[in-house]
Structure formats: structure tokens, C-alpha cells
Structure 1
Amino acid sequence: MSMGITIAGGGLGGLTLARVLHRHGIDAVVYEREASRSARRQGGSLDLHPESGQRALAEAGLGGRFRSEARPEGEEHRILDPTGRTLVHHEPQPGSFSGRPEIDRSVLRDLLLDSLPDDMVVWKRRLVAATPRPDEGWDLTFDGGHRASCDILIGADGARSVVRSLLADVELSHVATLVELHIEEVDRRHPDLAELVGPGNLWCVGVNQILAAQRLGVGSLRVGISLRADDRPIDTYRNKRALLDMFGDWDPRLTALIEASDSAPTPRLIETMPIGTRWASRPGVTLIGDAAHLMPPVGEGANQAMLDGAELASRLAANPDDPDSAIRAYEEGMFARIHPIAEMSARVQAMMLSPTAAEDIVRFFTAQPAEPSFG
């Protein structure tokens, strides 16, 4: 079935959308700005929630594949204070998939890509402009001068979405800075750090700053430093020595996570959209994932993006003769679903980087033993 659907962005949301459409026999093309699936690191590990990410994979017919690749033991998490004292140690039931099992983002993306025909994803196509055609649909311009057209345009193009500007004028807010590092072959080269982190996530919580580490399925650690938003140039955070100075009074067993990193520090600004962002529905265009509802990275972003994709695909499949009605129904449901999640994510983000973060996080985890993510 052809609706002339273009998906701008081949992240987890866009690929889930493409996969569910494909299962319903609906043609679509995904334009992805990266040169290939292996062009860059895909981030860390994700905890997929039963009500969102896992549900989306079930609708994509990939629940079994997910269970074969996921790591239930990755749900384990440890929270320490800057002296190395354990505040919380949550251990999941061995081998249980009843919670939020972890899966490497790269593995999950490959799982989705492998479920699609090869010609459904066009690589090295960064959308730079979309203009309405005189009758209906869109003319698309990509970096490098490539052009295409479509009847329905779906923006899955992330925080700096080009498609978003067709629907809403949104100003992003800088709420934190995240610095990422990596430690390869941690079990062989740094067994002490492997033991410190364990099979899941480690959080070392100080005043207005967090040093975290996450075990990946490939035997490496992804280290993340979360800091409150400030006016320092982002290049400040590219220097390992400067980062170590920020944690100068912390236990050296913890700051060894920075010392041992193999990669240069990679900082990025954490930005969010205003809570409650909505737009008036417009024929032939909509948004999913970060393009629709950019939130702090505390464990909901990928899950909600995947659910967006699955729900939009199901709406379009159920009403192929009136895709604009399907889009409106998807948007109303998505707005209602996202609002409380965005509020909760903002509260968690503020709690994590506060003067009383350790006490607040202990209370949070005691009441709800499911970890936020720094991915």
C-alpha cells in the first residue's frame, strides 16, 4: 500500500515506525543523516519499559528477538556517595524479564534495521528543508543538494528537528551538560572498575554533579558526567584534567572511571522543549520522539519515541483512506500521554543535579527501584 510516506530520521523512533508500517504492508522511506549504521557510536544501554518500548517492539513483531538480545542483569544499579559509601544497591531477580531489561542502543538499532528491506533506509541524507507543494505533500531538500518529494512527512529527526519548524516555533532550554567517556575491555584491563560498576549501572551522586558508569554488552563501560547548566564554554569539558579537578575531593576509586577512559571526553548540552508543547494539526506532517517532545535523558526518551512510532503506524494502518485523521488522532493521544511523563522527567532531572541529590535519589529509588538513564 502506498501513501507516499517519508520518515526523516533513522533513530529508534523512526525505525520502529518504519517497521510497524512495513508489517502492515505500507511503503515508506527513511532518510538518515549518518553515512551508515556503523558511522558513529550509538550511545549506551537502554532500559526498555514494558508499557512503552517493549510494547512497541511487540507491535513490531520483534519481542522474541529483543528477549534474545536483552540483559535482565543490566537492571542492577548501585548508588554511592562521593566517599564511595553505598546508598542503594538494587539487584533484579536473576533472568527475569518482568521489569526493564537493558539492551545496548546499537544492538536495538541493528535489530530494527535488520527487520527492514535494505532499500527502505537511505543513508547520508540530512534533511535541510521541506516546502509544501502547490497541491499537497512536500518537496524535500537534503544536504549536498539531493531532492525528493512525499505526500506525508514524519519528523523523527531529533532535538534540532527541521520538520518541527513546519508545526511549531519552539525555543529549547539548556538544563544540564553531559560529558561522555568510554573504557574498553574493562574486565581484562580494569577488573577493579568492572567490579565497582557491576553488570548494570553505577551512580556516584554529589552536590550538583553525578559521575555514572554503565556496563555495555560488548564488555566496555560508558562513563557519563552530569553537571548543572552553566555559562562555561563547552570546550571546557573536553579536557580530562579539568574534569578530574571538578571531582577533586571525591574518592580516587570513583574518579578512576575518568582516569581510565580511553576516549577523549565528549560533551553535549542537554536541552529540553517546554512541557506541554502542542501544535495545531497540519495535513501531511507530524512529529515523533525528540522532535515532538524533547525531555531530559532520564530513561523515557527512547521508550516514548518507539511508542510514538508504533502508535502512529497503527493509526495510519487503521485509516489508510484518511491519513490526516489518523495523524490527528495520534497527536491527541501522544500529547495526553507525554504531558505527565515530561513533568516527571523534569522533576527527576532537577532532583539529580541539586544540593540534596543524594538524599532525594535514595528516597526515589526506595519508592521506585527503576533507574533513570544518562543516555
Structure 2
Amino acid sequence: MTTPVTIIGAGLGGLTLARVLHVHGIPSTIHEAEPSPAARAQGGLLDIHAHNGQPALRDAGLHEEFLGLVHQGGEATRVLDKDGTVLLDEPDDGTGGRPEVHRGDLRRMLIDSLPAGTIHWGRKAAAVRSLGDGRHEVSFADGATVQTGLLVGADGAWSRVRPLLSGASPVYTGMSLVETYLFDGDTRHPVAAKTVGGGSMSALAPGKGIQAHREGGGTLHTYVALSASPEWLAGIDFADPAAATARIVREFDGWAPELTALITDGDTPPVLRPLHTLPQDHRWDRVLGVTLLGDAAHLMPPSGEGANLAMYDGAELGKALAAHPDDAEAALTAYEQALFPRSAAAAADSVRIRELCYGATAPHSLVAFFTDGGQAG
């Protein structure tokens, strides 16, 4: 392929694309807003699925290395009610069907698999414009520009590339997460650690929940889910961690203290993460020289699929470009024709999982889902 591939965003999807291109001998360049690989924490554990995330890593030639990163015991799952009663307790059976790995470790593995100089750090895309004939120019906040004949927007929910293809913008789902960590849980927070167990724990009720993952070193990573309006959230001063924590925990009055301790005993300030989504059937007409992957293409409520889909998108796009070395447009067309129905199905599933977790019959609806043979992310 003689057309240079320019990727905006060094998330898991953009990195997987670059790696699969490299495997096929196709060079690419990634422009990433963050100033360095270690500029910020990269989130918590991800379960990497056998039907999309793991095949993407095989296409990237990294599956064996990935297995060395797996958090042992992380597939254990618990579902509780607000009184702390355990309704479901499934141990990690060791089969590795949905192995857990820390997002930061997975990202580092992908970064290290690329040739030196592939990623240009500190390149925050400020604007993108068409130059005609399938060529585009990206302007960066540092004043630099780049022109390319093949542009891939892997730049997440608030993509600067998406407007070239679509007028869709993310909208608030009505649900937000509040994130915090408890460190050295087994020693400093033993009751909370016992409640979480060896993997993930979800204590749910209609419209809300307290969820946590056990990470390495006994860290308990907590996500508090709340159905809340933007106006209600704006009334919480997250610049005052104690006040914010006190306001959030009031929404769980009457819940078991071992659950609310996952909020009140946090060792980090609470961080608000409003959840946004794109339309379930988001798609666009073919535009010469540009496409999207990951959250830039199909942002949806958390369901365990987001990272997996982004990597799968990246691998599928990389393989399509390798299969059509003399016809990038044929590659992009084939990629998008498969992308759109895949994304729509995953988005519909994410809505269903949200209803199972926080709908009128939660948490019993989620327990039924698991015991009937389903899998939630």
C-alpha cells in the first residue's frame, strides 16, 4: 500500500490498527493528544472476549503475550442486593473465556509492539478539513499540521474526525458513574474486600448500583452508578471530595454498610464520569479517504464491549487494507459494511444490559441473565 495511513488517537483501537498494519508490512502514523504513554492512569480491568477482543489480539500477533498479563481470578462474579445478600457467586473457573487484564498493561503491550516513532505524542487534534479528492488536513493544538490520503478517526467519544462523516454527536444517557479506589483492601479495608470477593461485585437496585473490581495488590476499584440529571450532578461540588462523597452516599441510605464503605472509605477523590452515547444505528455514507473506529464510530453505554469492539474494529480495518493494497476505497467500503451491523447489534445489547443492571427488577434480572447462560460484560 502506497497511501500513508494516518491514525488519530492512541487508544486500544488505534493501536491495534497500527499493529495489524505493521504485521502486514504497512506503515502508519498515530497522533495522540496525551504528552506521553504515562501521562494519565488508563482505567481499570477489562474482560477480553473470545469472539472479538481475543481474535483481534491474535491478528496482531500478541495473544500469547496478552495471556501473560491476565489478572488471575478476575473472572469471579458476584451479584448482591442492597442489603448485602449474595444472590450470585460464581468463582473464576480457570477456563479463560473472558480473562481480565488491566487496561494500562494492555495498552503498554500494544505501544511496545510498534516501531519506534510510530506514535507522535502531544498531538491534540484541533480541526480536520477536507482538501478534496480524498485528502484531508489535520491541524493540531501545537500548531503542527499533517495532510493524508487515508485518515482514521480513533479519537473517541468527542472525535474531531467524525464530523467529516456524520453530524451525530454524543448525548447524555441519563446515567453517570462516580469512580474511586480503595488501596491495600485486604489489610486496610478488610470488610469491603471480603464483600467484593476475588473478581467483580455488583450490588444493584433500580436506577443505581455500587460496583467494584478487585485489581492487583488488593486494590478495590469502585464505580457508583446513578440515574441523575445534569442539573442534579451540577449541584455536587466535586472540587470538595468530602462533600461530594457525602452527597453521593446519601443516595444509598439504608444500604448495607459494607457496601457504602466502598464509597465513604475511598482513598482517592470521587471522579464523576457521565455516560454518553451515539445513536444505536449510527452510520454514514462512504467519504473518500476517511473512516472511524471504536467510540468515534459507535459510542454506547458500558457493557463490557467497548474496548473489545475498538480492538476488533482496528484489526478488521487493518486486515481489509492489507487485502486491498491497491484500492484503499474498496478496503474502507468492505470494513464499513461489516462495521455498521456489528455496531448496531452491540449497541442494542448494551441497552439491554443496562436494563438488566438498573431496571425495575434489578438485581434479580441480572441474576436471571447469568443463571440462564447469558454473559454480562
CA distance in 2, matches of 1:26, 1:235: 50
Preserved CA contact (<8 Å) 1:234 1:268: no
Preserved CA contact (<8 Å) 1:182 1:263: yes
CA distance in 1, matches of 2:179, 2:348: 25
Look up the equivalent residue of 2:59 and give its one-letter code. E
Greater CA deviation, 201-210 or 307-316?
A: 201-210
Equivalent in the alignment of 2:83: 83
- How many equivalent pairs are there? 370
Equivalent in the alignment of 1:313: 318
Which one of the candidate residues 137, 147, 154 is aligned to 1:156? Answer: 154
Preserved CA contact (<8 Å) 2:245 2:263: yes
Which one of the candidate residues 163, 179, 184 is aligned to 1:165? Answer: 163
Where 1:113 maps in the other structure, the secondary structure is helix
State the Cα distance separating 1:113 from its structure 2 match.
Answer: 0.7
1:319-338 Cα distance to aligned partner (Å, 9 max, x none): 01000110010000111222
Equivalent in the alignment of 1:67: 67
CA distance in 1, matches of 2:233, 2:349: 29
Q: 1:58 to 1:316 in 2, by over 3 A?
A: same
Matched, 1:356 2:345: no
Look up the equivalent residue of 1:161 and give its one-letter code. S
Matched, 1:291 2:296: yes
Equivalent in the alignment of 2:181: 182
Where 2:180 maps in the other structure, the secondary structure is strand
Which one of the candidate residues 110, 115, 134 is aligned to 2:113? Answer: 115
Look up the equivalent residue of 1:154 and give its one-letter code. V
- Alignment gaps of 5+ in structure 1: none
Preserved CA contact (<8 Å) 1:178 1:227: yes
Preserved CA contact (<8 Å) 1:2 1:27: no
State the Cα distance separating 1:46 from its structure 2 match.
Answer: 0.5
Equivalent in the alignment of 2:101: 103
Equivalent in the alignment of 1:220: 219
Where 2:363 maps in the other structure, the secondary structure is helix
CA distance in 2, matches of 1:201, 1:327: 38
Equivalent in the alignment of 1:249: 254
1:318-373 Cα distance to aligned partner (Å, 9 max, x none): 1010001100100001112222211111111133222321121111111235332x
Look up the equivalent residue of 1:144 and give its one-letter code. D
1:268-302 Cα distance to aligned partner (Å, 9 max, x none): 21011111111001110000000001111110111
Where 1:357 maps in the other structure, the secondary structure is coil
CA distance in 2, matches of 1:310, 1:236: 41
State the Cα distance separating 1:5 from its structure 2 match.
Answer: 0.9
Equivalent in the alignment of 1:205: 204
Equivalent in the alignment of 1:192: 191
Preserved CA contact (<8 Å) 1:77 1:371: no
- RMSD value over aligned CA atoms? 1.4
State the Cα distance separating 1:102 from its structure 2 match.
Answer: 0.3
Q: 1:187 to 1:2 in 2, by over 3 A?
A: farther
Look up the equivalent residue of 1:145 and give its one-letter code. G
State the Cα distance separating 1:134 from its structure 2 match.
Answer: 4.3
CA distance in 2, matches of 1:189, 1:2: 57
State the Cα distance separating 1:73 from its structure 2 match.
Answer: 1.5
State the Cα distance separating 1:63 from its structure 2 match.
Answer: 0.6
Preserved CA contact (<8 Å) 2:5 2:29: yes
Equivalent in the alignment of 2:142: 144
CA distance in 2, matches of 1:343, 1:229: 22
State the Cα distance separating 1:72 from its structure 2 match.
Answer: 4.6
State the Cα distance separating 1:79 from its structure 2 match.
Answer: 0.7
Look up the equivalent residue of 1:217 and give its one-letter code. G
State the Cα distance separating 1:13 from its structure 2 match.
Answer: 0.5
Q: 1:180 to 1:237 in 2, by over 3 A?
A: farther
Greater CA deviation, 223-232 or 158-167?
A: 223-232
Look up the equivalent residue of 1:171 and give its one-letter code. S
State the Cα distance separating 1:191 from its structure 2 match.
Answer: 2.5
Equivalent in the alignment of 1:346: 351
1:13-24 superposed matches below 5 A: 13-24=13-24
Q: 1:34 to 1:235 in 2, by over 3 A?
A: farther
Preserved CA contact (<8 Å) 1:365 1:371: yes
Equivalent in the alignment of 1:52: 52
Q: 1:218 to 1:104 in 2, by over 3 A?
A: farther
Equivalent in the alignment of 2:370: 365
CA distance in 2, matches of 1:13, 1:235: 35
State the Cα distance separating 1:145 from its structure 2 match.
Answer: 1.4
State the Cα distance separating 1:235 from its structure 2 match.
Answer: 5.6
Look up the equivalent residue of 2:199 and give its one-letter code. G
